Amino acid sequence: MMNLTIFGTGACLLQRSKMLVPLVLLTLCVITQANGNASVKKFPENFLLGAATSAYQIEGGWNADGKGESVWDYYLHKQPDIVKDFTNGDIAADSYHLYERDVEILKELGAKAYRFSISWTRILPDGTTNFINPHGIAYYSRLIDLLLADNILPLVTLYHWDLPIAFSNNGGWLNETTGDRFGEYARIVFNVFGDKVKHWITVNEPSIHCSFMYEYGIHPPLKKSPGVGFYECGRNLLLAHAKAYHIYDVEFRKNQGGKVGLSLDAEWPIAASDSLDDLEAVKDYLAFSVGQYMDPIFKGDYPERLVNRIAAASRRQGCTSSRLQPFTDKQKAYINGTADFVGINHYFSLYVYRNESVRGYETPSFLGDTELGTFQDPSWPQSAFTRMREYAPGLYCLLMYLKDTYHNPAVYITENGFPMTPAEDLNDDKKAHYLRAYLKAVLDAKADGSNCQGYFFWSLVDGLEWASGLQKYKFGLYQVDYNDPSRKRTARKSALVYKEIIHSGTIDFSYNPDPYGDKCFKNT
C-alpha cells in the first residue's frame, strides 16, 4: 500500500488490486476504520438530516397566480422532444398545491431540515424588479411558516436552473449582466424571507448546469459552445454568487444572522493505476470539478493546473489566447471568501486514466482540455442511471479531501441519491442500502475530523428529472403516482429506513421495514 497525499488524508489509501482488466493495477480508495465500527456511532444532535427538492422539478403550477416563464417552461412547450418521455414540469408533483402534504411527509420522517429552491419567476415574473408577485411571496411564506412550525429548518436555494426566459434571450449566463439581475432578485428574497431563513444557497451545481447548457446543448437554451461557453458560464455564475453573497453580507447579515453558500456537484476520482499519468489525471479531475469553483472562493483564483491545461490546449488548437477568461485582480478579491459553507451534491465515484486515446483534441472541448478518460467498476451496485453506482467510500474520501485542501470548511451534503426504475415499486432495497452506506461514510468522515454539518437525501418525492422526464428515474423517498390526478404520495422502504436513522441517530443495516405494512405513514 502507498499513501497518496492528493487524497487529503492517510485514511484514503491506494490499494493494488486486479479488477476489470487483467494485469492492470487499479486503485481503490478505502476507509481505515481507525475509529471503530461506524454502526455504533451516532449523529450529533445538531447534525441536520433532511431531504431536498427543487422548484421546477416538483412544484408544477407553471403559470399559476402570476408566475412568469422560465427557460424550462418556454422550451419544453416549444420543443417537447427535449425531454425523453415528452413530459414537463407544468404539474409535476404539484407541490404548489400540495405543499402541506410535503411538509407532513417531512414531519413523518422526523426530518430536521428541508432544502428546496425558490422559483425566480414566481417572485419576479419577468425576472426583473419591475413587478414583485405577491402570490409567489405568499406561497413561499406559507411553506416556510409550516416548516418552522414543525421545527424543520429551511435551507433555501435561490437558483436551481430555472432562469427567466427574458435573460436567456439576452445571452443567459454567457452575459455577465445576468449576474446583476440575479443580485437584484437575491436582495428581494433576502429582504422578504431572511428573518426566517438562515441558510441560503445561491446557485446549484454550476458545473453541470453550464455543461448541459453550453458544452453539450441538451438543456435550455440548447446552445453548443464546447470549451468556451462552459467556462464563461461558470465564470459568470461565480461572479453572480459573489454578488448575492456581498449583498447579504453588507445589507442583511447583521440583522438576520444567516449564512450563505453554494452547492457544487462533486464525484470522487480514483486513479485507474499507479502510473504517473493516471495520478496526474486524478489531480486534474479535481481541479476541473470542485477546484474550478472552490479555489476562487477559498484560495483567490482558479487552480493553476486548470489554467495551464486550458491555455496549452488553446495554443495547440490555434487560439491566440486561452479560452478561459481570467479574473481581474478586482474580481478575484470580490469572489475570494464568499462562502460561509459549501453544499456538496455527490452521487457516485469513478476511475480516471490518461493515455494516448484521450490526448491531443484538435477542437475545443472540456474533455479535450482535461485529456482524461473515466470508467466505473461494474461490480458496484447499479442504479437505473448507468453512471450512478454505489461506492460509498468515495464520499468519505471526498470529505477528507475538502477538509485537507480547503482548511476544513463547513460542508452540507445537499444532494445524495440513487434513482430506481418505476418497476421497482416501494421495495427500493438498493436505494435503502445506498442511503445507509453513504450516511455511514459521512459518520466515518466526521469521526476523522470533517466539518460536515448536514445531509439532504435527493429527493423527498419523485420529480421531473430534467431532460430525462418524469417516468424513467425515481429518486424519491416517496413515490408519486403520476397517473393519479391527486398525485398520491406513498412511502417507499427507503423512507422508513431514513425515518429510523433520523429517530435513532444511528445506522442499522439489519432493519428491514415493510413499506406495505407500516401504519405510521399517511400514504395519500
Catalytic residue list:
205, 415
CB-based burial label for 47 (10 Å; 0-12, 13-18, 19+): middle
Number of residues in the chain: 524
Q: How many CB atoms lie within 10 A of CB 449?
A: 14
Q: 189, 372, 408: which is closest to 285 by C-alpha?
A: 372
Look at residues 230, 251, 233 and name the one whose alpha carbon lies nearest to residue 241. 233
Q: Is 407 left (phi over 0), alpha (psi -120 to 50) or beta?
A: left
Dist CA 504 CA 455 (whole Å): 15
d(CA 349, CA 271): 11
Residue 323 in grid coordinates: 479560452
**Could you tell me the three cell numbers for 426?**
416501494
What kind and span of H or E run contains 97?
helix 95-109
Considering only the C-alpha atoms of the chain, give the largest distance between any 2 of them, rounded to a whole number of Å: 67
E strands, 421-518, where?
452-458, 478-480, 489-491
Secondary structure string (H, E, C) spanning 366-429: HHHHHCCEEECCCCCCECCCCCCECCCHHHHHHHHHHHHHCCCCCEEEEECCCCECHHHCCCCH
C-beta neighbour count of 104 within 10 angstroms: 17
**Identity (one letter) of the amino acid at 27?**
T
- The alpha-carbon radius of gyration of the chain (Å, integer) is 22
Q: What's the rounded Cα separation, in Å, for the pair 359 and 372?
A: 8
The enclosing H or E element of 271 equals strand 268-271
CB within 8 Å of 511: residues ≥ 6 apart: 497, 500
**Residues 155, 114 contacting (CB under 8 angstroms):** yes
- Return the C-alpha cell found at 169: 434571450
Listed residue (119, 151, 149) closest to 136, CA to CA: 119
